[in-house]
Amino acid sequence: MTNKTRKSLTLQMLLFELRNITGNPYVHLFGIAMPILMSYIIIRGVTMEVSDPALLCTISTSVFLGIGVVIPMAIALMGYAATRAQEMEKGIPERLELFGIRSSITLCNRIAAELIFILVVFILYFVYGCLFLELEPPKASGAVIYTISMLALTIILLCIAHGIASILKKFGPTYCVVMILYFTLMLFSGMMGLSYDNMPSGIQFVAKLLPTTYLNKDIYTIWVGESCRFAPMIQSYLLWAVIAGILLVTTAEIKQKYHKLP
Amino acid sequence: MLLSIENLTVRYGPETALNIDQPIHIEEGERIGIIGSNGAGKTTLVKSILGLVPYQGTIQTALTRDQIAVHMQFNEYADSMPVKYIMEAILETKISKNKKLQELIGYFEFGECLKKRYTKLSGGQKQRFTIILVMMQEAPLTFYDEVTSGLDFETRQKLMEKLANWYRNKNSSLCIVSHYYDELENLVDKLLILDKGRVVAYGKTEELFRRYCGRAVIILDNTPENEILVKDHKRLAAPAHLIALSCDNESDEREVTSRLLAHNKNYKHSSRDIEILSINAKKALFMKSEGISYDK
Ligand SMILES: Nc1ncnc2c1ncn2[C@@H]1O[C@H](COP(=O)(O)OP(=O)(O)OP(=O)(O)O)[C@@H](O)[C@H]1O
Ligand SMILES: [Mg+2]
């Protein structure tokens, strides 16, 4: 191993990270079971009085797609932050670095593993949706954009979770911060009952900054291939990507404080 | 030279954990034992060399980070999977395809443990897991920080013996932190004795022994009877339950041992007892700081 530089992505590391994800029970509960249950209950609730099959289909699809946002939020944000904070507490990243596995390598493999995992979860989610709910089939462009936006959100949330946990280093504070972030995102992006159109303008302003808002309110339009303004959505993604980037840089800076062997 | 340390100071808040003023050089192929009581700064020294704690002073080395391997005092790994997968990820290999790794797993009798999770391993098994990973690195410089702490006597001995055998004909430098002097005696040729963050002594074990203890020491139980028997012989500092006598030449040695034999007393003869050595080196340092010259 001496003198051999490690590749950023290897099969062993990828499998290792996948096992790390699936070994976290939280992910199964809040990332898989909860969205399925939530979408079922909410869709049953709101469509109880609807008799028009076309309308029923529209509502179901819209709610179903919106709730899909919970998957990356639970898995990449909360689930990963919990895992990362726990390993920070135990000094596992430091131990891995001593074996020559830099945190950038870890992060790289983690992003790849989370993307694979989230993709699988979405497939399961849609299999369930097709079996038990009336869903409208997407336009090809809609399906592609939906997938890309969910995966991009996953990467951003993962980096944010990584940054927060690496900076705070403790499970308690990390969990607290991520929990607040989770519910803030849910609330402001209209997933807790208050929809975007009914928000006071101040709250609307905040909502506009969140990618999750668009994934909730515009996603049906995108899904069925109707025209939609993408600029605000892309801007919100960029904003959050910058936030994630700043957090990662801060993490790296904190580590650089000490001398490092070449 | 592999590594050199000069004027190293490590502070944790107001507390100075380490303050090394004499130069420390580690040469290729050396086996160095690092000893000192709890809190002496041994782990801090290892951590500063690895760049894990902020320090003042200079640590110079031509080695890259990948060329220094380390078994830390505490090692933790993910608990979400059997250790086999952790091993394969860290070493970027498959056990089934890696002869050298298979050999090490066999050598440390770790095969049965591969399918267990890390927290389910016993203390000794945990230590062996890290040892295997560290050995696989084949680094020119390797640190072992208390590999045997918390293990029972037999396991400890077996582990140290395996470690010693493994490195016997290899040229890697080792720095071994340990509280068990007996296991160091067979493994190291140099000693770094630390106390309260300061260097008490650093050098070849033999030389240090000569300087602080003489040619050899005779160690016996501290009983009133023994006390009378050896009362006019040159005494060294020793743990309360022991008497340690310094012998500068063979006739000296013969004289004491024959007297002890005549009275049917048990004694131990040693020319490398690290415990007596470190106690006397500490005493010498203390006397020096008080302005008294040390004469064993
Ligand atoms: N992270 C830390 N923060 C504050 N103080 C620390 C920290 N790590 C170590 N110390 C202090 O520095 C001193 C040296 O600690 P160190 O761990 O180096 O001792 P050691 O010689 O390895 O002891 P042991 O034999 O118990 O492992 C101790 O007084 C310890 O309390
Ligand atoms: Mg220690």
Q: Which residues of A touch B81 (CB under 8 A)?
A: 16, 19-20, 23
Residue of A4, A7, A12, A105 to mutate when probing chain B, most B C-beta within 10 A: A12
Would strands B31-35 and B56-61 be described as parallel, antiparallel, or unpaired?
unpaired
Contact criterion met (CB < 8 Å) for A98 and B70: yes
**In a shared domain, residues B213 and B261:** yes
Set of chain B residues whose Cβ sits within 8 Å of the Cβ of A90: 76
Asked if B96 is an interface residue toward chain A (Cβ–Cβ < 8 A), one would say no
Tell me, yes or no, whether B90 lies in a domain.
Answer: yes
Structural domains in chain B (count): 2
B219 and B131 in a single domain? The answer is no
In a domain? residue B53: yes
Alpha carbon of B50 to ligand 2 centroid (Å): 14
Q: How confident is the model at residue A4 (pLDDT cuts 50, 70, 90)?
A: low
CB contact under 8 A, A259 and B133: no
Structural domain including B259 reads 208-289
In a domain, B295, yes or no: no
User: Which residues of chain A have a CB within 8 Å of the CB of B6?
Assistant: none
Same domain, B42 and B88: yes
| Residue of B55, B64, B78 lying closest to A87 (CB–CB) | B78
Residue B296 lies in a domain: no
Interface residues of chain A, partner chain B, Cβ below 8 Å: 1-4, 6-7, 10, 12-13, 15-16, 19-20, 22-24, 87, 90-92, 94-96, 98-101, 257-262
Over range A252-256, report the average pLDDT: 76
**Chain A contact for B32 (CB, 8 A cutoff):** no
Which of the listed residues B164, B183, B204 is the one where a domain comes to its end? B204
Q: In this structure, which residue's CA is closest to atom 22 in ligand 1? A: B43
Mutate to test the pocket of ligand 1, among B43, B143, B194 (most ligand atoms within 8 A of CB): B43
pLDDT digits (tens, 9 = 90+) for A111-149: 999 999 999 999 999 999 999 998 999 999 999 999 999
Cβ within 8 Å, pair A95-B77 = yes
Whose CA is closest to A152, among A37, A66, A241, A261?
A241
Least confident of A191-200, A203-212, B127-136: A191-200
Question: Residue A257: its pLDDT value, please?
Answer: 58
Parse chain A into domains and list their residue ranges.
Answer: 11-253
Average pLDDT on A28-49 reads: 91
Per-residue model confidence (pLDDT) at position B291? 81
Please give the pLDDT value at position B296.
65
CB spacing of B90 vs A99 below 8 angstroms:
yes
Tell me the C-alpha to C-alpha distance, in Å, between residue A95 and each of A10, A125, B52. Answer: 19, 37, 11
Whether B117 contacts B83, CB under 8 Å = yes
Distance B139 CA to ligand 2 centre (A): 21
pLDDT of residue A9: 85
CB contact under 8 A, A92 and B90: no
- Phi/psi for A102 (5° steps) reads -65, 160
Q: Judge if B179 and B152 occupy the same domain.
A: yes
Distance B140 CA to ligand 2 centre (A): 22
Q: What are the angstrom distances between the C-alpha of B182 and each of A51, B33, B158, B179, B270?
A: 85, 11, 13, 9, 12
Angle of helix A11-22 relative to helix A103-132, nearest 10 degrees, comes to 60
User: Is pLDDT at A3 greater than 60 in this prediction?
Assistant: no
Which residues does residue B243 pair with via DSSP β-bridges, in sequence order? B220
Residues forming a β-bridge with B69: B142
Do B106 and B248 lie in a common domain? Answer: no
Taking the C-alpha atoms of residue B253 and residue B269, their distance in angstroms, rounded to an integer, is 9
Tokens representing A188 are: 């402001």
Q: Is residue B26 part of a domain?
A: yes
Question: Do B9 and B142 share a structural domain?
Answer: yes
CB-based contact B108:B140 (threshold 8 Å): no
Which chain A residue has the Cα nearest residue B68? A98
Q: Are B93 and B7 part of one and the same domain?
A: yes
CATH code, B229: 3.30.70
Which residues of chain A make contact with B55, given a CB cutoff of 8 A?
Answer: 259
Answer whether residue B148 is part of any domain: yes
B65 in A contact zone (CB under 8 Å): yes
Structure-token pair, residue B48: 């500063």
Please, what is the average pLDDT of chain A? 90
- pLDDT digit of tens for each residue in chain B (296 aa)? 899 999 999 999 999 999 999 999 999 999 999 999 999 999 999 999 998 899 999 999 989 888 999 999 999 999 999 999 999 999 999 999 999 999 999 999 999 999 999 999 999 999 999 999 999 999 999 999 999 887 888 888 888 888 899 898 899 999 999 999 988 988 899 999 999 999 999 999 999 999 999 999 999 999 999 999 998 899 999 999 999 999 999 998 999 999 999 999 999 999 989 999 999 999 999 988 888 877 76
DSSP string, B172-237: -EEEEE-S-HHHHHTT-SEEEEEETTEEEEEEEHHHHHHHHT-SEEEEEE--HHHHHHTTTSPEE-
The rounded distance, in Å, linking the Cα atoms of B100 and B234 is 53
- 8 Å CB contact between A203 and A188: yes
Single pTM value for the model = 0.89
Asked if residue B271 and residue B130 are part of one domain, the reply reads no
- Which residue's C-alpha comes closest to atom 28 of ligand 1? B39
Residues flanking ligand 1, CB < 6 Å: B 12, 17, 36, 38-44, 73
Looking at all shown ligands, the one closest to residue B73's CA atom is 2
Q: Are B143 and B46 in contact (CB under 8 A)?
A: yes
**Same domain for B122 and B245?**
no
Do B34 and B90 have their domain in common?
yes
- B264 within some domain: yes
**Final residue before a domain boundary, out of B204, B239, B262:** B204
- pLDDT tens string A162-180: 999 999 999 999 999 999 9
- Give the closest of A91, A99, A259 to B76, CB-based: A91
CATH number (domain holding residue B46): 3.40.50.300
H helix intervals, chain A? 11-22, 25-26, 34-47, 53-67, 70-72, 80-90, 92-98, 103-132, 140-168, 171-188, 201-208, 211-217, 219-223, 231-256
Q: Do B186 and B271 sit in the same domain of this protein?
A: no
The pLDDT > 90 percentage for chain A reads: 73
| CA B44 / ligand 1 centre spacing (Å) | 6
A-B interface: how many C-beta pairs under 8 angstroms? 93
Task: Work out the pLDDT band at A2, boundaries 50, 70, 90.
Answer: very low
Note whether B141 and B259 are same-domain residues.
no
CB–CB contact A4 B85 (8 Å): no
Which of these, B221, B238, B230, lies nearest to B273 by C-alpha position? B238
Element (H, E) at B260: helix B250-262
Q: What angle do CA A238, A239, A245 make, to 5 degrees?
A: 85
Residue A256 has pLDDT above 90, yes or no: no
B49 to each of A243, B59, B140, B192, B274, how far by Cα in Å? 34, 7, 14, 15, 25
Return d(Cα B66, Cα B114) in angstroms, integer. Answer: 25
**Single residue among B204, B234, B269 that ends a domain in this structure:** B204
